[in-house]
Amino acid sequence: MADKLRKNPDLFITVKSRKDTLFTGNAYSITSLNELGFFDILPFHTNFVTLIKDFVVIDKGLPTEKNIKMDKGILTVISNTIKVYVGV
């Protein structure tokens, strides 16, 4: 099962600003920072909403890693679909 997850990313992530889509695609993980500290979201994470700040990192530590800087944003997780709204 673990090999299957590594071959096929289960998360679908969209990162949008008010003017542009900064990222859209599949990924293995997303990392960010909220008022309680750093956190990671992996496949099958519970649904939740949080205010985030400073950054999101998609696929941290992998060759596909992508860093997106921001002042603040909102992150939602619903059934392996993650939406990040930057600057709100």
Instruction: Encode pLDDT of 37-79 as tens digits.
Output: 999 999 999 999 999 999 999 999 999 999 999 999 999 999 9
Confidence of residue 9 (pLDDT cuts 50, 70, 90): confident
Class of domain 2-86: mainly beta
Where do the domains of the chain lie? 2-86
Asked whether 86 and 22 are in contact (CB, 8 A), the reply is yes
Helix residue ranges, H only, 1-88: 2-7
CA 83 to chain centre: 7
